[in-house]
Structure formats: C-alpha cells, structure tokens
Structure 1
C-alpha cells in the first residue's frame, strides 16, 4: 500500500507542483530586551494565513475589515494605547491589586485542595465552575468575570501545592532551629507495603511548646538503625539542624530503635 501511494503521488502533477524542494532555515538570533512594557511584541506566524479583503462599507467609513476579525477603527487602538499608558503598573495601581488578589486566591484554593486531600484537577473541573455559579446567583450576572483572572490550570495548581508545601516545610525547619528541640520517630507501612519513617519535632516557640510534623522518608527493607540514622542525619545537614541542640529522642519499641549496642538511641549518643 505504501508503494502504491508513493507511485500515485509521483504521478500526480498537482502534488509535484505543490511540493517544496528547497527549505529555507533561518538561523537563531538573539532578541533584544526592552524596558518599557509592550514596547516590542514578538509573534510566531503559522502559514498559510487567510486572505484579507477590503469591505466597501468599512472602506467608506475609513475602517479596514478583515475576515474572521473584529472591525475597529484607528481611534479605537489609539484609545487603548492611551489607557494602557495611563495605567499604573507599580504596586499602587489597580492592575497590580487585581493581579495580586488573583494570585493569592489561586494559592488559597490550591492550599484548601491539598488540605482536603483531593486531586488538583478538581479546581478546574468543579471548584471554579461552582464558584462562578454561586457568585452569579448571589452577587450578580457580571460578577463571575472577576474570577476569570484566577489561574486554575492543572499544572498551575500542582505547582502552587508544591510551593506551599515547600514553604510550610521551611517554616517548620526554621522553628525547629530553636535553642532546644526534641524529635519523635515512628516506622509505618503504607498500602504499597513500603516502610516509611515519620519524624516529628517538638520545640519552643514564643515561650510555648509546639509539635510539628518534620518529614517522611522511605526506608529500605529490612530496616536497620544505621539506615534511620543516615536519613535523619542527611535531613539535619541539608536543613542545618545542629545535633547539639537535640535534647530528647522518643521512639517506639522496634528492635532497630531499642538495641542496646546498635540501636538508634545508642548511635545518636
């Protein structure tokens, strides 16, 4: 079949006439950066483009009509340019305030989804459509337009969740860097029969004790005290936790933890 198709195409005069035998490759060139906003706009053009025509009625009115495009006169673009120049793009302008609130709302939604242990795709599929309907019924018909500025793409929500998790982890580590802290270790097995090491920390924050979940790491099977110590030590080195400030270690009754010679407590001492 492939051979018949090739023979048929080679015999077609129209196909041979339309075939491109010479390809022009434009070398990559650096694009100069511009400081003013919207000073230079770069557009990737995909050919072939539809042909444009002059509309008699629009030509008499001094306007250019393009097939498939909205017709605007020259004054329209001048008004848009003037309005753009008048916008304050710094922290005191309306544009900055709207953008900041939209980004903040996106982070809050991602945080709530992670707290509820729901898939991040639920934001675009369910949360935003429901929010628009609620706002439309309670506030008004035009209110849902303000929610269009909130980025709820799946990749964006996933990135927001990861960034929020990283920020919470950094806050917990900073609190653990108090003069004195203690840790509690527990070994558990998840649904995939993988051994997980859970580490909790207790530290003094503003004159009161505070318990926080520190980290969770996968353990090799069989689990040994040296492996547990290596994981905890690597985490301490990466986050710059000083072993000197460690004043207490709480463990369960596992053999790897309570060994009198090679247990975790003995190795920590």
Structure 2
C-alpha cells in the first residue's frame, strides 16, 4: 500500500470535508472620512453607544482611534473615552459586515447597507432548511485493503453496534458501505458536553476496538466537518485533498 497524499488525523487546516463558512455573524461598522488625502476607514461603534439608530449615526461628527469610534455630535462622551480618541471625522455610511469562520479563522464575507440585507445573506448561507454537506459519498480508494476488509467483515452478517460514535450499514443495490457518524462534530468541546471525554480518548477507544487507523483518520475529518452520513463506494469519485491508497500487487 502506497499512500499518495499524507493527511494527519489531527490537522484541521486542510480538511477536504470542510465546506463554506460557519459561525456567521454581523458586525455594524461606521465608514468614516477624516482627511481629503486619505481613504475612508471603518470602525466599530463603541459599545456604550450601541443603542444608537442609523439616523443617530449617519452624517454626524465622530471621534475615533484604531479600535472604535464614538459619535460626538449631540452625544455626551466620558472624558476617559474622549482622551483615547485622537482623530476626528464624519460618519458617511453605516455598514453591516458579515463575518464567517472557516478552519478556525475569521473571514470577511461581505458588506451590506442594512441589517435586514445582512440577515438575509446569513440566512441564505446558513441553509436553514438543512445542513450543507452532511452526507458524502467518496471512493473506497481512500481506504487501504485492511480498512476495507474491516468494513466488509463488520457488515457481512448481522451488523453489530460499535458503540464508538459510528455505526455501519450496507447498501444492497451497490457495493458501497455506509457509515452513520454520531455526536458530530468531534471536537473536544462538543464531545465533553455529550460524553465527558476528549477526541483523543474517543480515538484511542476506536483503535483499541480494532478499528484500522486509516479509517479512524477519515471518520475524524468527516466528523470534524459535521458530516453525518459517509458512504464508501468503489464507483464514487475521489475527494481531492484526502489521502488515496494505491494498491500494489
């Protein structure tokens, strides 16, 4: 067996099962002009003025620093905050910035000009009627012969429950084997809430029970991406970025 791609079981920065953004959030920002020779800047409103409406922000004078802005026109600013803001400008536009996370990093998704528009974008990206990519079909080439033999043996007779946060089932009309992943995502934070154990503890239980390490790796990457159904099919496509085994005679 010769692995073409190496993918560590505990790496999450190159997980091919990960798709799209998660933990989407909206951040209200002020577009501020302050110098004829400088481009506008964006600053969040200080939390002490978070109650102000758009009409109480738009086209009004403000003071700001590198971290936040405060409306100075018609508003009372405590001296300690005023002293921290050395720049003066004018709010030209209130912007609702959509932020998402991918592979534990925050990314700027886009800017909208109303809260309603930003909420609509998040609703569309979140797929409220379901979850994106929770069912996958991948090639059996992602498993070595040892792991495939394990799967076939487990489902050849009456499948028995593994009790290892994954259960197997057969697909009678094809040569595929399905796997139901339980308790996803398999992060320490989530597993500790439902089972009082870390992922490393679960991984060790799976290995101690005879689950091939290559299968454990694939299941972990899928579960980390909150996949619930994973099907191994010899006729399915290879998933780019996932380890592939080239069987040598």
TM-score tier (shorter): under 0.3
* Higher share in helix: 1
Larger Rg: 1
* Higher share in strand: 2
Q: TM-score, normalised by structure 1?
A: 0.19
